Amino acid sequence: MLDRQKLTVAVDLQRRSYALLRWLAEAVRRGFVTFDAAHTYATLPAAAQAWVDRHFADIPPDARPPHDEREAFARMFASYLETSFELVREPGRKLYSPDAHCFCPMCSWLVDAPNLRTKKLERTDKSRAEKQMRGALHAIAAELEVDADESLLEELREPLAYVAYGRDLLERARGGMVGPSTLALWREFAWTRTGAPRKGFVLTADAILDAEANVARSLSAS
């Protein structure tokens, strides 16, 4: 089963890493940091850690990691452009309408597109996410010493996505790179069934552990 302490640290580092990535993208937009430098910081763990160490006091408080977690934080931060986002050198402009109310010429206008853009998921990414959920099911079944009833996969889709995502976070903190399937897992529980982000959603270690317990109960009862 997932270790609560390690998972709590990993979830916190994920939140701080995302905050730092957004801050870095804004720094690129304003010209505080060059695109090439930002891309290096956000893709190479060693470069990320050197930059975090050098600018530790300047990092926004909500993005600054605990001092003794800087190495794991750098690895988590450097995984974001592999798993979920991409920095765009020249993002151009996009059509904007407040609250997407109306995109007619009277109610919309062009604005600078963000340098940070969500990755586009491919079929292979979604297939890998499915394999990760199946792997989570088998791992829990093995610990319980029961059969991994794959007929439960669809019924337990959301909790299995939570568990697979938690396992993935721990791997990213160790320096593993899984790829955009992480984003596919995220959308299983952080997005609505209609394909939109859930307003106010915040990932917690408790939610992942509760999902794992849910899967365990279902496997024990099957």
**Mean confidence (pLDDT) of the chain:** 87
Q: What's the pLDDT band for 118 if we cut at 50, 70, 90?
A: confident
Most confident stretch, 43-47, 97-101, 147-151: 147-151
pLDDT of residue 12: 97
Indicate the pLDDT class of residue 96, thresholds 50, 70 and 90. very low
- CB atoms under 10 Å from CB of 67, counted, come to 9
Q: Higher pLDDT residue, 1 or 179? A: 1
Spatial neighbors of 166 by CB under 8 A, at least 6 apart, are: 2, 7, 10, 11, 205, 208, 209, 212
Q: Where are the beta strands (DSSP E) in 27-159?
A: 85-87, 93-96, 109-112, 116-118
pLDDT tens sequence across 35-79:
888 888 888 888 888 988 888 988 899 999 999 999 999 999 988
Q: Please report which confidence band the pLDDT of residue 110 belongs to, taking 50, 70 and 90 as the band edges.
A: very low
Biggest alpha carbon–alpha carbon distance for the chain: 64
pTM for this entry: 0.85
Domain ranges of the chain: 4-90, 123-221
- The phi and psi torsions of 116 (rounded to 5 degrees) equal -100, 125
Per residue, what are the HEC states of 98-125?
Answer: HHHCCCCCCCCEEEECCCEEECCCCHHH
Per-residue pLDDT tens digits for 162-208? 999 999 999 999 988 778 999 999 999 999 988 889 999 999 999 99
Mean pLDDT within 91-118: 56
List strand residue ranges (DSSP E) for the chain, in order: 85-87, 93-96, 109-112, 116-118
pLDDT > 80? residue 1: yes
